[in-house]
A and B are shown apart, each in its own frame.
Chain A
Amino acid sequence: MPPAAQETATARLTRLLTMVPWLVNRQGIDVTRAAADLGVSTEQLEADLQLLFLCGYGQMPDELIEADWEGGRVFVGNADSIARPLRLGVDEAVTLIVGLRALREVPGLDERDAVDRALAKLESAAGDAAAPADRVRAEVAEGGSAELLARARRAIAGQRRVHLRYVVPARDEATERDVDPMRVVGIDGQWYLEGWCHRAEDTRLFRMDRVEELEVLDVDGTPPPQATERDLSEGTFRPAADDVSVLLHLLPGATWVSDYYAVDSVEEVPADEGGGRRVRLRTADTAWLRRLLWRLGGRGVVLEPADVVAEVREGAAAALDGYGAAGRS
């Protein structure tokens, strides 16, 4: 979170009151390193030090804070009264407490004892700021067996390749693949293994609850240099340029689809045209979309393209054939 140009005076003050104790305990730290660890640019850090240098408990030279960064090393002195950080604010205490409590529930986590010790110390240090944390509860993710998650983490720590048997429900496929694991991520309620997939020759996210088997191989699992972690700040969905663009009418009863899947546009449909929403989404693979539309049972309708409309219709007709006379009615 680099402080933007519009950082308010109070936001900057809080940042400075955290920065001073941090620097006081790291006398002589390199300017670039300090800026990186503090999450600001070196220009910002220098501007901050410049400001500190003008402040003190009085305006006589020996009453002012000493701040020196000549030669690329930072020294801060005569700041005894703010040499300890300010107590944790409510948001600060809540983020760490809620985060630690969520960690406790991570299946197969070996560090649960450390989590409990950290939580106890943190709660006592935070004092009153800790109480509201009881009103925020977060579950990072569930699904996936503790054993498979632990095995995946061991493979990452030991840099071992893994063999996966992986089910893709959207296409109803079970696949076998070798993967060089990079990390286990819990996001949007699911655990994923991210790694370099030797079958796809690309990085892939595997949902842990769809991993049927995970075997740690006695093979080096260092991912190739081109393997890069995906930016998950927008979630796990990643549309590609060559995806098919589909226009759907979601009738009342199916509008949840536009909350659940990433859509490009949403438009409310007036009641005299059936109500609900008209949405546009992109997908590389129409198999999952056909399945979705069969599930919706007519409450979701593909408007275009025509070949997807035909796929949905023909697939539904073929499925009804399985029910003989009952299906034809």
Chain B
Amino acid sequence: MTSETGGGAPSAAQAKTERLLNLVLVLLYTRRPLPKAQIRRLVPQYDTGASAEAFERMFERDKDELRELGIPLVTEDIDVLWEDEPGYRIHQRDYALPDIAFEPDELAVLGLASRTWAQASLAGPAAQALRKLRAAGVERDEGALIGIEPRLRTAEPAFDVVKDAVLRRVRLRFGYRRPEAAEVTERHVRPWSLVSWHGRWYLNAWDEDREAPRVFRLSRITGPVRTVGRAGAFEVPADHEAEVMTRAVAAPPTQPSPAVLRVRRGAGHALRRRARTVGEVDELWSLVDLDYGDLDAFAEEVAGYGADVVAEQPPELVDAVVARLRGALVAHGGGEG
């Protein structure tokens, strides 16, 4: 493709933009549906001596592309007497964004909502949406909402395809690697919803092979994501609750259990913050009393403190911590093996 800038002949992309813009202007301006022949005369890029057939093909494609952009191009009967010839137009009332007056503080939060996506693949649409809402001329209120910057990132390569499929309700197939499985399995799903939770994106979907709902972490999708079939191919269950489903899988709820730890003075800060009670044993050690949820996760945390924290109670916690420390010791060439 040639460059669009510079003085020479306009590039193909430039000519196409002109053609589409002229088409939009002609169809918005008209007070009655226009037959194809007249459109061809009014849009100079159509009237280039191309065959009637070439024009037909181009016009069909242009119509589809405008509709794809959300431009409400409609087909209407021109006249009862001419009912076999359809006419085309765009109604201003369907085209234009309704007149909405936003207060300055509302524009400020809309600006913040838009900038939330500034580092994501949706940065373009987010900025464009804001520009549309601000077209009427109200300038942003720079003073409001100073100092706070929520940011969503979409670093996962699968994000864009999955997002489009969720929004348009298109079935998907993709390779997925479960956390501890070596092999990638192909999954066929109906994508229900997309959730960002704790900095990661999750897809809630109906797994067609397993005939059950499943939650997929986008970062574990490997290879290309392919769409299957057309938009609107399925309904999302009315009682589907996106966040509830993701959280139930990503962080299953656990019952708290009590633990007692011996923690070196000046250490274990994060543990002390969560403690129910902290008692001083001597100059070296404190006794910390707290609740934990998941035994394995908590044993990992305690093992991470090395010699600064010793698990005292319950015995299963002691065993789990010791097992981890021994594992690390042996893996790095220590102990009897």
Residues of chain A touching chain B, judged by Cβ–Cβ distance below 8 Å, are 1, 5-10, 12-18, 21-22, 25-26, 38-39, 43-44, 47, 51-52, 54-59, 65, 81-82, 84-96, 99-100, 102-103, 106, 109, 111, 114-115, 117-118, 121-122, 124-125, 129, 132, 134-142, 152-153, 156-157, 167, 169, 172-174, 181-190, 210, 212, 232-233, 235, 252-253, 255-256, 259, 271, 275, 290-302, 309-310, 312-323, 326-327, 329
Q: Are B198 and A1 in contact (CB under 8 A)?
A: no
A265 to chain B, nearest CB (A): 17
B128 to chain A, nearest CB (A): 6
If A16-B17, A298-B331, A323-B318 touch, whether A95 touches B129 (CB-CB below 8 Å) is: yes
Q: Are B122 and A295 in contact (CB under 8 A)?
A: no
Q: Are B126 and A95 in contact (CB under 8 A)?
A: yes
- Of all A-B residue pairs in the complex, the 3 with the closest CB atoms, nearest first, are A298-B327, A189-B199, A99-B113
Q: Are B152 and A138 in contact (CB under 8 A)?
A: yes
Query: In the complex, A316 Cα to B327 Cα: how many Å?
Result: 9
Q: Are A301 and B149 in contact (CB under 8 A)?
A: no
Q: Are A1 and B18 in contact (CB under 8 A)?
A: no
Contact among A44, A122, A140, A329 with B110 in the assembled complex (CB-CB below 8 Å): A122
List 26 A-B residue pairs with CB atoms under 8 Å apart, sorted by A's residue number: A10-B69, A12-B17, A18-B131, A57-B22, A58-B26, A58-B42, A85-B135, A86-B69, A87-B70, A90-B168, A94-B125, A96-B130, A114-B106, A124-B98, A124-B100, A125-B100, A134-B242, A138-B195, A152-B147, A172-B305, A233-B153, A291-B304, A295-B324, A299-B327, A318-B306, A320-B329
Contact among B103, B132, B310, B323 with A92 in the assembled complex (CB-CB below 8 Å): B132
Which chain B residue has the least Cβ–Cβ distance from A115? B109
Query: In the complex, A14 Cα to B17 Cα: how many Å?
Result: 10
Q: Is B117 an interface residue (CB 8 A)?
A: yes
Query: In the complex, A217 Cα to B262 Cα: how many Å?
Result: 36
Q: Are A317 and B334 in contact (CB under 8 A)?
A: yes
Query: In the complex, A142 Cα to B136 Cα: how many Å?
Result: 36
Query: In the complex, A253 Cα to B327 Cα: how many Å?
Result: 13
What 1/0 mask marks residues of chain B from 7 to 35 whose CB sits below 8 Å from any chain A CB? Answer: 00000011011101110111011100000
What 1/0 mask marks residues of chain B from 96 to 124 whose CB sits below 8 Å from any chain A CB? Answer: 11111011011111101110110100111
Q: Is B65 an interface residue (CB 8 A)?
A: yes
If A111-B109, A316-B306 touch, whether A99 touches B116 (CB-CB below 8 Å) is: yes
Q: Are B329 and A313 in contact (CB under 8 A)?
A: yes
Query: In the complex, A26 Cα to B307 Cα: how many Å?
Result: 67
Query: In the complex, A91 Cα to B21 Cα: how many Å?
Result: 22
